[in-house]
């Protein structure tokens, strides 16, 4: 007699993503809209760190459903509040806040500071994070506003979470965010979005430099990529690369808009690739 055996497939833990921002957060919004959809399955944005208290991305996080915990870690304010501290101390404090958020993946989505080896060493599990500073990082007295509408974010439900002290009671209901892992696995993957092709226009003002090179006949097109973060600026392994057309009639803002549209797509693709790798290794 044939018997049927029930196969129980264990559900995957929802992966936690911490996003670092400095500005409007349009790429953060792309991640929020894609989380827990086929574009970025089994994942949630669970924490946002901004280098600027006026960054509109903080408002996007607050208005997400569920609201995403946030903190502000501004370089100038940190140095003023911690006399004798230097730039590497700031990087260590950013790393401490990242670790407190218990991420599976860290995404730099318009983060405007170059992070030092000290940051990478902590997220690679090679060095311990510092103790919390004597004074907490600043919190915005009111979140910034702007006229552009905020696209609807993903509304997937999951379980409750514990969040860093900086976020408790600050950014609203977090009961639907996924639980953090019981232990942190190292290294924590970090990816960055850069508006240039691999090996071209590393560092700041990549779009402007590419536009100027096109005007002088130096290049025929530019591109955008998502890459792993390593010590060398914008030199980590490319994960997703797209060529971007530059038209003769383009103004700089035309090229910027074309690049930003592609960025919103590939930042999600890059995050999905890394999380799929983590699931295979689990």
Q: Is residue 194 annotated as part of the catalytic site, yes or no?
A: yes
Which residues does 44 contact at the CB level (< 8 Å), separation at least 6? 14, 15, 16, 17, 35, 36, 156, 158, 177, 178
Q: Which residues pair with 40 in a beta bridge?
A: 35
Q: What is the pLDDT of residue 164?
A: 45
Q: What is the pLDDT of residue 173?
A: 42
Find how far residue 244's CA is from the centre of its chain: 22
The Cα–Cα gap between 88 and 214 comes to: 37
Pairing relationship of beta strands 238-245 and 221-228 according to DSSP bridges:
antiparallel
Would you say 74 and 54 are in contact if contact means Cβ atoms under 8 Å apart?
no
Alpha carbon distance 16, 59 (integer Å)? 20
Q: Which CATH number fits domain 13-188: 3.40.50, 1.10.10, 3.40.390, 3.90.380?
A: 3.40.50
Delimiting residues of CATH 3.40.50.170 domain(s) in the chain:
193-282
Of the CA atoms within 13 Å of residue 31, those in its CB half-sphere come to 32
pLDDT (tens place) for every residue of the chain, 282 residues total: 545 555 444 568 899 999 999 999 999 999 999 999 999 999 999 999 999 999 999 999 999 999 999 999 999 999 999 999 999 999 999 999 999 999 999 999 999 999 999 999 999 999 999 998 766 655 655 667 664 444 433 333 333 333 444 444 344 444 579 999 999 999 999 999 999 999 999 999 999 999 999 999 999 999 999 999 999 999 999 999 999 999 999 999 999 999 999 999 999 999 999 999 999 998
Answer for the pair 25, 57: CB distance below 8 angstroms, yes or no: yes
Could you give the 3-state DSSP secondary structure of residue 46? strand
Could you write out the DSSP letters of every residue in 216-273? TTS-SEEEEEEEE--SSTT-SPEEEEEEEE--TT--HHHHHHHHHHHHHHHHHHHHHH
Superfamily the domain 193-282 falls into: Formyl transferase, N-terminal domain (3.40.50.170)
What is the SS3 assignment for 150? Answer: coil
Render 159-185 in DSSP notation, one character per residue: ------TTTTTTSS--TTSPPPPSS--
Edge-first strand listing for the sheet containing 190-194: 70-72, 43-50, 15-21, 105-108, 190-194, 221-228, 238-245
Structure tokens given for 195:
């508006």
Which residue among 113, 194, 227, 264 is the active-site one?
A: 194
> How high is the pLDDT of residue 150?
41
pTM of the model: 0.85
Please give the pLDDT value at position 133: 78
């Amino acid at each position: 007699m044939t018997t049927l055996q029930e196969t129980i497939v264990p559900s995957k833990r929802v992966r936690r993503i911490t996003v670092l921002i400095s500005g409007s957060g349009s790429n953060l919004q792309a991640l929020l809209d894609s989380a827990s959809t086929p574009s970025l399955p089994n994942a949630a944005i669970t924490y946002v760190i901004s280098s600027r208290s006026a960054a509109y991305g903080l408002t996007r996080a607050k208005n997400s459903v569920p609201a995403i915990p946030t903190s502000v870690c501004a370089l100038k304010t940190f140095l003023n509040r911690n006399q004798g501290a230097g730039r590497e101390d700031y990087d260590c404090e950013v790393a401490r806040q990242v670790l407190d958020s218990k991420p599976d993946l860290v995404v730099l989505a318009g983060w405007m500071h170059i992070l030092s080896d000290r940051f990478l060493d902590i997220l690679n599990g090679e060095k311990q994070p510092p103790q919390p500073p004597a004074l907490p990082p600043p919190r915005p007295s009111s979140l910034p506003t702007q006229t552009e509408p905020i696209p609807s974010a993903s509304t997937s439900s999951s379980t409750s979470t514990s969040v860093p002290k900086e976020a408790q009671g600050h950014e609203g209901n977090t009961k639907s965010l996924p639980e953090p892992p019981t232990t942190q696995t190292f290294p924590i993957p970090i990816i960055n979005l850069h508006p240039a092709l691999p090996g071209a226009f590393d560092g700041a003002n990549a779009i402007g430099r590419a536009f100027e090179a096109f005007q002088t006949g130096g290049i025929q097109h530019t591109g955008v990529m998502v890459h792993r973060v390593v010590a060398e600026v914008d030199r980590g392994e490319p994960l997703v690369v797209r060529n971007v057309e530059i038209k003769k009639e383009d103004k700089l803002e035309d090229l910027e808009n074309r690049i930003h549209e592609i960025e919103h797509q590939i930042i999600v693709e890059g995050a999905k690739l890394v999380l799929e790798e983590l699931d295979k290794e689990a």
